[in-house]
């Protein structure tokens, strides 16, 4: 019942910040020091970021895959003035959910 109530609290929130994730992992793993959990979480995020910066794809089975997509240069329009502007080519992060995550989000556990 306690875990179900905790689930409802997390579902009611709009987002979770990094420090809350670290705290939750530390709380669920009392044998680990919080500073070690923080180092682990930061290392995971740093490695994902570095891999994407190199153009690599990062796949976390059951969760999803992070990749980088290239958006070509184009002519855009300033919505305020209607003036045309050149938009440079850019690389943007892309996340594709894994099947397990997608199923869970749709209540198909």
7 pLDDT higher than 90 = no
2: exposed, middle or buried (Cβ count in 10 Å: 0-12, 13-18, 19+): exposed
Check: CATH 4.10.520.10 for 57-109?
A: yes
The pTM assigned to this predicted structure is 0.72
Which residues in the chain are classed under CATH 4.10.520.10? 57-109
The tens digit of pLDDT for each residue in 53-69 reads: 999 999 999 999 999 99
The tens digit of pLDDT for each residue in 86-109 reads: 999 999 999 999 999 999 999 887
């Amino acid at each position: 019942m306690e875990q179900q109530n905790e689930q409802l609290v997390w579902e009611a929130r709009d987002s979770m910040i990094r420090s809350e994730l670290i705290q939750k992992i530390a709380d669920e793993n009392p044998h680990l020091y919080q500073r070690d959990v923080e180092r682990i979480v930061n290392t995971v995020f740093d490695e994902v970021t570095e891999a994407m910066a190199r153009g690599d794809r990062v796949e976390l089975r059951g969760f999803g895959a992070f990749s980088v997509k290239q958006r070509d240069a184009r002519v855009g329009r300033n919505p305020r003035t209607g003036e045309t502007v050149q938009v440079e080519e850019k690389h943007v992060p892309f996340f594709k959910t894994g099947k397990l995550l997608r199923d869970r989000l749709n209540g198909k556990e």
